[in-house]
Amino acid sequence: METKKANQEFQSDFLSVSEARQAIADLIASSYESMAIHLRKETLPLHQCLGRILAVDVLSPIDVPAHDNSAMDGYAFDGRELRDDRQNIELTVIGTLHAGETESLNVKPGQCIKIMTGALMPATCNTVVPQEFTKTHSNGLVSFSNGVVRAGENRRLRGEDLQSGKAAISQGRILRPADIGLMASLGIRELDVYQRIKVAILSSGNELCDIHESLAPGKIYDSNRYSLRVCIERLGMEVMDCGIVRDNPDDLRKAFITAAQMADVIISSGGVSVGEADFTKQMMEELGEVGFWKIAMRPGRPMAFGSLKPDSNRPTSTVFFGLPGNPVAVMVTFYQFVRNALLQLNGAKQVEIPLIPVRSAQGIRKKSGRTEFQRGIVFQDPEGQWVVKTTGSQGAGILRSMSEANCFIVLHHDQGNVEPGDWVDVEIFDGLL
Ligand code: AMP
Ligand code: MG
């Protein structure tokens, strides 16, 4: 009885993944006001805007397309020629229109004009019969059977894609290649985007050694600072590398104060697990408000989160994420908690990554009552079905399992064991990492 009770109490101080996400979202929303001071805009040439976050709504200055035009290579004519009593349509070709030409010929009844894709539709024409349905004759006539095209077909209308004055893309958009192309199609040369937020990173641990030093006995290379750096850079943000910090209160305090003065967000790894967390906790109480969480998840159980304000003269506070030390746990907690928060702090909207159901090629053991983020490979089975398998050994320190994977298999809080052929949710790395 006693053990069971103690166990329940132990369980109850765990946050679920969704509770942790909510707590982060709440702080981001409330600190957005003070962060907004840093959210300055800058104007960049269009080709430098990929991955940046749009700071304004962009309204289209023109109709797209700007004129009615042909959607096909063929012959343009007045759709009223397609009378029910005609089996075969015969029209006299009076000329040719190429894309980009502005000359407008007057097409009369019984006539048509040879037209190329993108060429302006003559005023009296509303229909294009594609070339492949037609026969040309030596006497300058073209013929086709009635029924291969209906009146109004194969014509693009002015403003059909986008009308002048309508929103082409909205503020908060993370700009992708199609957005850049869309802007160019409107003749827009530069865009107002948010300046990149500054994110300080540091690694804590006496055992850590930088890759530029030789590895002394008992030490390990610091990989977290490198994976974190590129994860953040991939989000288009500025990284400030604050190096390796030794596990003692003075060094940590100094490092955090410096980082908080420079950056909008601090991300540290290591030093938040039981035992080590004690003096980090004590120090964080001096510098701001930070919660030390145990999250019901695997990997990535311990995590610290809050805001630091070591300098009372500074109007804004610095958001702080203390991630666990294990290299895979760092990447999982980064993608499950930090990524969306950073994008939102930088002004982005719609940052959610979709969960996609795929059949599992294997059974997976899973305990109910925690969320697991297993490293997976989505692949095509011999029947051509896309299915998922795990990358094998799932230890939180095994970075190779992450490197081999192309997705997270998300096993939800209440979910139990997975049988072969069951549906599981995956988050594909492409677009995420
Ligand atoms: P900690 O959370 O500090 O107890 O670290 C958990 C595990 O992750 C330990 O085995 C650490 O050696 C390892 N670790 C901590 N920080 C790093 C780092 N920056 N790079 C690689 N491994 C690390
Ligand atoms: Mg440590």
Distance 333 CA to ligand 2 centre (A): 16
Ligand closest to CA 397: 1
Give the model's confidence band at 1: pLDDT under 50 very low, under 70 low, under 90 confident, else very high: very low
Is 168 in contact with 60 (CB distance < 8 Å)?
A: yes
Amino acid 37: pLDDT: 55
Domain residue ranges of the chain, discontinuous segments joined by +: 13-32+197-345, 42-64+168-194, 69-156, 356-428
Report pLDDT digits (tens) over 33-44: 665 556 899 999
Q: What is the mean pLDDT of residues 291-308?
A: 93
Atom of ligand 1 nearest to the CA of 203: 19
**Could you tell me which CATH number the domain at 13-32+197-345 has?**
3.40.980.10
Percentage of residues in the chain having pLDDT higher than 70: 95
Ligand closest to CA 267: 1
Distance 336 CA to ligand 1 centre (A): 19
Q: What is the mean pLDDT of residues 48-58?
A: 97
Cβ–ligand 1 distance for 208 under 6 Å, the answer yes
Distance 422 CA to ligand 1 centre (A): 35
Cβ–ligand 1 distance for 326 under 6 Å, the answer yes
Given ligand 1 and candidates 269, 272, 321, which is best to mutate, with the most ligand atoms within 8 Å of its CB? 269
Q: Backbone phi, then psi, for 20, in 5-degree steps?
A: -65, -45
**Residue with CA closest to ligand 1 atom 23:** 325
CB atoms within 10 A of CB 212: 5
User: Does CATH number 2.170.190.11 belong to domain 69-156?
Assistant: yes
Fold for domain 42-64+168-194?
Molybdopterin biosynthesis moea protein, domain 2 (3.90.105)
Atom of ligand 1 nearest to the CA of 271: 3
Q: At residue 65, does pLDDT exceed 60?
A: yes
113: exposed, middle or buried (C-beta count within 10 Å: 0-12, 13-18, 19+)? buried
Distance 223 CA to ligand 2 centre (A): 13
3-state secondary structure of 9: helix
Amino acid 408: pLDDT: 97
Ligand closest to CA 304: 1
Distance between CA 296 and CA 362 in Å, rounded? 24
Cβ–ligand 1 distance for 228 under 6 Å, the answer no
Q: Which region, left, alpha or beta, applies to residue 165 given φ > 0 means left and ψ of -120 to 50 means alpha?
A: left
Q: At residue 4, does pLDDT exceed 70?
A: no
Cβ–ligand 1 distance for 346 under 6 Å, the answer no
Distance 12 CA to ligand 2 centre (A): 25
Distance 210 CA to ligand 2 centre (A): 15
- Under 8 Å CB-to-CB from 45, ≥6 apart: which residues? 189, 190
Give the model's confidence band at 8: pLDDT under 50 very low, under 70 low, under 90 confident, else very high: very low
Ligand closest to CA 203: 1
Distance between CA 300 and CA 205 in Å, rounded? 17
**Residue with CA closest to ligand 1 atom 10:** 326
Q: Is residue 376 within a helix (H) or strand (E), and if so which, with residue range?
A: strand 371-380
- Under 8 Å CB-to-CB from 32, ≥6 apart: which residues? 344, 345
Amino acid 204: pLDDT: 94
Distance 13 CA to ligand 2 centre (A): 22
Report pLDDT digits (tens) over 255-275: 999 999 899 999 999 988 887
**From 31-40, 127-136, 296-305, 351-360, the region with the lowest mean pLDDT:** 31-40
Long-range CB pairs of 177-181 (<8 Å, 24+ gap) are 177/50, 179/54, 180/46, 180/47, 180/49, 180/50
Report pLDDT digits (tens) over 9-34: 344 689 999 999 999 999 888 876 66
**Could you tell me which CATH number the domain at 356-428 has?**
2.40.340.10
Distance 114 CA to ligand 1 centre (A): 71
